[in-house]
Structure 1
Amino acid sequence: MSLTVAVQMDPLESINIAGDSTFALMLSAQSRGYALFHYSPEDLNYRDGRVWTRAHPVTVQHVVGDHFRFGRPMSLDLGKDADVVLMRQDPPFDLGYITATHLLERIADQTLVVNDPASVRNAPEKVWVLDFARFMPPTLVTRSLEEARAFLAEHGEIVVKPLHGNGGKAIFKVGTDGANLSSLIEVFNTAWREPHMVQAFLPGVAKGDKRIVLVDGEVAGAVNRIPGEGEIRSNLAVGGSAAQTELTERELEICAALGPELKRRGLLFVGIDVIGGEWLTEINVTSPTGIVAIDRFNGTDTPGRIWDAIEARLAARAA
């Protein structure tokens, strides 16, 4: 199948090709003969029912410092000229991100957008996960210092993090003495208008925070992310290390519960985070990562599996 693929993402100059999932997807697409275009969400336009962007034809290669070549920029009608749009820019999940989903939703009946833009908008990672609270650690969503103090008194140690954060940024552990909790909530309340997520601290995080990737609702693989020295955060972006892993019975149960809903919502490439083999903390749908490490350990081809799923979706739409 020959496809034209428009990739909505961050600047290609800034990515680390050694572990970037979007770059791996682009390499795989190119190997299949797909035509690739790159554009930024800030370049989206709408008029008279059309959504278009200023896009660069792009070729990619796995050469550090020389990993992409742009062709001459052109106006690309995403509803007529593209078969697939990959929505792969990193959060923040702000009004700019949300507006991009609204615009792409207007072409979703013409062009396959991965992940489905309406579902991405309606499933923010630390909010939609509350639908599966039975798998989560004790969790509080609040802006209230009083409520946070009561939660700390109940659970002994807690973690406070932004409700729409990403990449392990601004995650804080508060010990039993509650030192700095009031200052922390004050800073969070100043920085963000929305509530914040407060969870019971899980000592099992020292053994790793597992990223499990699901493709069209099915498990494609997993990698265990182990915190660095003196850290509670295991994200690879903040110094965590990757290790090979297998899924526990509890993790398989979580995936089985999530899978049908992911498939129904058109969330084709999803990464979930599970601590201690049993506690679901996030469902990442905006720009999930981890497939390069998974394939390195398991000898799998997750980008190829994702493109197979995309081709199957396109074939079903055409039938």
Structure 2
Amino acid sequence: MVARSKLAVAVALVGVLGAVLAWVLVREPDEVVRRISIAEPSQHWQREGFVEMVPPIRLPTATPGEDDVVVWLRIPEGGVISTRPRSDDGAGLILSFPPGTVADRVESRGRGSRRGVIDVRGTRLGEGSEAGEEWMHTLRRDGGAQGGLFGYEWPRSSGEAHGEATRRLLAELAEIPPGSTMDEPARVAYLSRIESKNQCVVCHVHERSDNRREGELGVVDRGTDGNGFFTPHTVLLDEMPLERYGDIDPNLHDPWVEVRCPEGEVTLETRGRRLQATCPNDAVPRARFNLALALSHGDARAKRICIARRYLYEHLDERGREHFAAAIDACAG
């Protein structure tokens, strides 16, 4: 059988990816869309000076006993997190991170020696000549035996650049495993899922409030900070919305977590294969982590929460330090 050409692959994917995919395969790069790679992701974030953001309420996972999603943050030396009161009717402060900050959502799959990073989505806050711009990026596995990653970075402000970055990513993924080993329908579905997940701006709205009702403002029930990040600011909180996306909610069996409803009682329901906490009238459940109790029992994750809290606290402005003093005091012991 004659090998499938790049043009044939592009034509087969037109319905999902758009008729311009074949053009992307030969187009010269624009400077606003940049190809990036990580050769050895297993220790990349630790080696590059990132700190793990450990939220008191764990994120949904697909692997029992594992946190499939880890958020890493790197603030430049001397950088200050500015704070201001929320503009909505919520209590608390909005955090805005300084230029040069990088936040990465790193997703892994597998067990033991076969576990590895499969997806990275993040933002770099421009500095210097790029100040004021947010550079978003997506990386996927490069198909090699070493588990390397490749992807593209683009400016958030440009929908055209985002589209171009997505098209280039999909074009490359179609030509390497696992996409290249799939039959046509499976490959189209695989690339379509990645394309759908790459609608970053839709989810990462700046200063979005928490959902009070399921799906009220988006799939994610937590709100965002001034840069559209979901996780870093929650490190400083003891209570937050309980997420209901994903396969497994590890908080339901956590001895240090208490779940409540804004009104009425919490009900545990099995929906599909997932055990969920639900509230009357589609209200979003709230979960509270008892950090003091967890620390008193020597809980390892509680200690990691405190490491992340101290890192953020060191970079907060004066108002932020005053507001979150209790959060850091809880780690003093």
Question: TM-score by structure 2 length?
Answer: 0.23
Larger Rg: 2
Question: TM-score by structure 1 length?
Answer: 0.24
